[in-house]
Structure 1
Amino acid sequence: MAEGEARRIYLTTPIYYVNDRPHIGHAYTSLATDVLARWHRLDGHEVFFLTGTDEHGQKVEKAARDAGMDPQAFTDQVSEHFRELARRMNFSNDDFIRTTEERHRRACTALWEELARRGEIYLGHYEGWYAVRDEAFYGPDEITERDGQRFAPSGAPVEWVREPSYFFRLSAWRERLLQFYEDNPDFILPPGRRNEVISFVRAGLQDLSISRTSFRWGVPVPGDPAHVMYVWLDALTNYITAVGYPDTGAPRWRFWPADVHFVGKDILRFHAIYWPAFLMAAGIAPPRRVFAHGWWTNEGQKISKSLGNVIDPLALIGTYGLDPVRYFLLREVPFGQDGDFSRRALIARLNNELANDLGNLAQRTLSLIQRNCDARLPQRAPPTESDRELLDAAAALPGRLRALFDRQAFHEALEQVWSVVRLGNAWIDREKPWALRRTDPARMAAVLRSLHDAMRVIATVLQPFMPDTMSRMLDQLGVPPGERTLAALRTPLPGGIALPPPTPLFQKIQDAPL
């Protein structure tokens, strides 16, 4: 996206299933969405960021029964855990949708009726291998058998089910989906996931069962309340519910189609095959992109409740601090790939990159200005060739990051920023402003001003990743709250403004639990 091209941006997390408490995977997906939303706001775009909870289906009905609770009371309780995660992780979502809301029931009903009106739905019966855990049917070629039990590709146990069902004519969409993927090569990212989806569709699609009669906890099928809607038709509709569907004249409808649906790789098929087919069949534009990220392991082990190694994101931020955890999760692993969570790695990133590299550069520079420039920002001077090395590298960051954010390359964006942080540390050691105080005070002031200008850019572009800490850094740099956007970087701060005494931005972890 070019600089100055302001537009509307719609970003979503998946809606999280309320049969359990939030874990690191939920925090990771929402964090990526939050960082991208914050970046686009920083770049002058109008952003709508949606998250929420998926509250219908057989799994939720069973979890509520096991807990001895009414399904609505159960979902009210568990949904609140996800709201708390959003608050504690400082996510900037504009809405939080629940599929038990009346607005969502209206949207699901309207979408069903439109699909039926267009002849995309018919009544039949379904029999096949069904996984309750995945809320999905699987073909015979996808089933494996161990110890007399059959399993889906996800590892979930399956059972043979036969019941009346309404069907969506998915098989008719094979060629149109393949053409859509060809016409929109960036619809699925990363590219490896795109190849998986195309291979699956090319192998042929079967009509999709979109209703159930074996449980009641769901949206009733219009005109046939013995059926409830298949949880994925229900759940996926949330993305258009939140922008006003079926009222396409609603103020929020201007955000559709969504720019990026962030999902885990385990639910890519539903978002990249079923969802665009549902939408196109109803005459609605499909989203622009589905980005499927990888999974985390914990110290080399698969994360599971049975192993007792589920990572609680709230416990993490309680130990290491919110912004270091936000930084680590998007710094450690290229977004889209699987990664291993290691507390040693988190501590190393915090101590070395945050405290030593960035924190130390800010503290040294601002302390020198306090002591040697009467705690006031030095005036700008004509830059030397040496100054330009640092200033040009910093000035290039917004453009470079803009291109990386446009393809959700968060890890690469942070590496670009850290290349300038490392340059700043090498540059201050080379220029030695502390030694220039007696020999060339004018040059000392120019060096400190160049460092300050570079750090202003660094702090500005890092706001999406570490909003609280970068707010404090910008405070210490004397940047007014209204001048912390990418566009504001084009206007230098006036020399002579008073700067507050600097305080450390990050606390090193000396002896933390591993």
Structure 2
Amino acid sequence: VTRDLHWGIPVPLQGYENKVLYVWFEAVLGYISATKELSQKRGEPNLWKKYWLVEDSGQGDGGTRYIAFIGKDNIVFHTLIFPAMLMAWNEGGKSRYVLPDAVPANEFLNFEGKKFSKSRGWGIDLRDFIEVFPPDTLRYALALNLPESRDSDFYWKDFQARVNNELADTLGNFINRTLQFILRYYDGKIPERGPLERLDQVVIEQMKSAPGNVGKFFEEFKFRDGVIEAMSLARRANKYFNDSEPWKKIKENPKLCATTVNICAQLARSLAIILSPVIPFAVEEIWQMLGLEGTAATAGWDSAAGMRVEAGKVIGQLRILFTKIEDSAIEEQIKKTASGDVPAEQAAKPAIAPIKTQISIDDFRKVDLRVAK
């Protein structure tokens, strides 16, 4: 765990004056020291103990579960070195630290078929990204493209397709159709729900099972599967709206129409909750448009299975949830990407000019050559 270097943290033992600690031996302790520093800044110097020191239950005083989200190149440091250090300390009996509960390590994420490279200018600057696109769009695209079990790629065209086809045309379209219908035919108030038909019962059962199914994937760190499951409810909600044909029922059977629209409002609330970990900004807009109190993030996960939107509730101001990304916007990003791509040989080119292989005869005559024994 030591290195023969002039820089680093010195080994505090006699006879090791010229040794420093291996960087990964001391770096992982930064998780604890960072928590200590935060505690001091908050004026609660002992707060860190709540999270890191173990009760008889095996968890921290605050019920801490230590989960390490890392890349595959750092697995050994988080599954061997750090746990070994903590276990060795714990055996001393002075105090016991929380051990890693899980280490979900990802593979590598590439960009347009190549590795990210700062020296070559190959990648995306997050600050530039959010000036053009909403942060939720990137969160969503990455959640569906996480390299959970193998390397994956971020492609601009794929990003555009996910935003347009899934966020705008599926989720956004369902929310907009539902709320616009309520605004137009029910004076902006959630209509009363009546007796249920078979079509209603099926989609309600799908809604009831969604938080459990999605939550299970998230708890197992299968974020991609969790998002797919959540979006499947959005697709079913859209299909339910289409199959129920409320635009016909409003004239032919107003009571059945009211039931359909009420259930759609319940589905919108459920979707806001189960998608809150992925698109937190958009779901709060859904929440506000539904006229609900509080926030989607704090509503309670299991409540997504319930029919909690009350009849008579006045909806809020409507707005488009997601705007489609035009081809021109993506082409511009692709051009920026290409312009920033420096060839590998150029990126590795030394700043110092190469030494000339030959000199002129005039320069050679100036050379004073001497031989010594």
TM-score range, shorter chain: 0.7 to 0.9
3-state SS of paired residue (1:221):
coil
**Aligned residue number for residue 185 of structure 2:** 372
**Aligned residue number for residue 269 of structure 1:** 76
Contact 2:200–2:263 under 8 Å retained in 1: yes
3-state SS of paired residue (2:153):
strand
Contact 2:8–2:23 under 8 Å retained in 1: no
Show CA shifts across 1:39-76 (max 9, x none): xxxxxxxxxxxxxxxxxxxxxxxxxxxxxxxxxxxxxx
Letter in structure 2 aligned against 1:265: K
**Aligned residue number for residue 153 of structure 2:** 340
Letter in structure 2 aligned against 1:251: K
- Is 1:503 the counterpart of 2:327? The answer is no
Give 1:456 deviation, angstroms.
0.7
**Aligned residue number for residue 218 of structure 1:** 9
**Aligned residue number for residue 269 of structure 2:** 456
Contact 1:211–1:221 under 8 Å retained in 2: no
Distance in 2 (alpha carbons) for counterparts of 1:376 and 1:233: 61
Distance in 1 (alpha carbons) for counterparts of 2:157 and 2:314: 40
Q: Report 1:418-437 matches (<5 A).
A: 418-437=231-250
Letter in structure 2 aligned against 1:504: I
Give 1:352 deviation, angstroms.
0.6
Show CA shifts across 1:284-317 (max 9, x none): 4521111110111111122223443133222222
Give 1:388 deviation, angstroms.
1.4
Higher strand share: 1
Letter in structure 2 aligned against 1:312: D
CA RMSD of aligned residues (A): 2.4
Contact 2:172–2:320 under 8 Å retained in 1: yes
Report how many aligned residue pairs link the two structures.
305
Show CA shifts across 1:77-128 (max 9, x none): xxxxxxxxxxxxxxxxxxxxxxxxxxxxxxxxxxxxxxxxxxxxxxxxxxxx
**Aligned residue number for residue 178 of structure 1:** none
**Aligned residue number for residue 300 of structure 2:** 485
Distance in 2 (alpha carbons) for counterparts of 1:359 and 1:460: 15
Deviates more, 1:387-396 or 1:255-264: 255-264
Distance in 2 (alpha carbons) for counterparts of 1:239 and 1:255: 16
**Aligned residue number for residue 252 of structure 1:** 51
Contact 2:106–2:147 under 8 Å retained in 1: no
Distance in 2 (alpha carbons) for counterparts of 1:470 and 1:220: 51
Q: 1:225/1:441 Cα in 2 relative to 1: closer, same or farther (>3 Å)?
A: farther
Give 1:458 deviation, angstroms.
0.6
**Aligned residue number for residue 238 of structure 1:** 30
Q: 1:222/1:371 Cα in 2 relative to 1: closer, same or farther (>3 Å)?
A: farther
Distance in 2 (alpha carbons) for counterparts of 1:364 and 1:248: 48
Give 1:377 deviation, angstroms.
0.8
Give 1:353 deviation, angstroms.
0.3
Contact 1:331–1:411 under 8 Å retained in 2: yes
**Aligned residue number for residue 166 of structure 1:** none
Contact 1:323–1:466 under 8 Å retained in 2: yes
Contact 1:379–1:446 under 8 Å retained in 2: yes
Percent of pairs with identical residues: 29
Show CA shifts across 1:136-178 (max 9, x none): xxxxxxxxxxxxxxxxxxxxxxxxxxxxxxxxxxxxxxxxxxx
Contact 2:190–2:314 under 8 Å retained in 1: yes
Contact 2:10–2:18 under 8 Å retained in 1: no
Letter in structure 1 aligned against 2:313: I
Q: 1:334/1:365 Cα in 2 relative to 1: closer, same or farther (>3 Å)?
A: farther
Q: 1:501/1:443 Cα in 2 relative to 1: closer, same or farther (>3 Å)?
A: farther
Letter in structure 1 aligned against 2:50: P
Distance in 1 (alpha carbons) for counterparts of 2:13 and 2:195: 72
Letter in structure 2 aligned against 1:492: R
Distance in 2 (alpha carbons) for counterparts of 1:217 and 1:361: 57
- Is 1:228 the counterpart of 2:43? The answer is no
**Which has more radius of gyration?**
2
Q: Report 1:387-406 matches (<5 A).
A: 387-406=200-219
- 2:105 paired residue among 286, 289, 292: 292
Give 1:439 deviation, angstroms.
0.9
Letter in structure 2 aligned against 1:250: K
**Aligned residue number for residue 370 of structure 2:** none
Contact 2:168–2:324 under 8 Å retained in 1: yes
Letter in structure 2 aligned against 1:500: G
Distance in 2 (alpha carbons) for counterparts of 1:331 and 1:217: 40
Give 1:259 deviation, angstroms.
3.0
3-state SS of paired residue (2:69):
strand
Letter in structure 2 aligned against 1:212: R
- Is 1:352 the counterpart of 2:159? The answer is no
**Aligned residue number for residue 361 of structure 1:** 174
**Aligned residue number for residue 205 of structure 1:** none
Contact 2:68–2:104 under 8 Å retained in 1: yes
Contact 2:139–2:279 under 8 Å retained in 1: yes
- Is 1:314 the counterpart of 2:127? The answer is yes
Distance in 2 (alpha carbons) for counterparts of 1:334 and 1:233: 27
Distance in 1 (alpha carbons) for counterparts of 2:2 and 2:211: 48
Give 1:258 deviation, angstroms.
4.0
Letter in structure 2 aligned against 1:495: A
- Is 1:385 the counterpart of 2:198? The answer is yes
* TM-score (ref. length: structure 2): 0.75
Q: 1:275/1:438 Cα in 2 relative to 1: closer, same or farther (>3 Å)?
A: same
Give 1:257 deviation, angstroms.
6.0
- Is 1:279 the counterpart of 2:86? The answer is yes
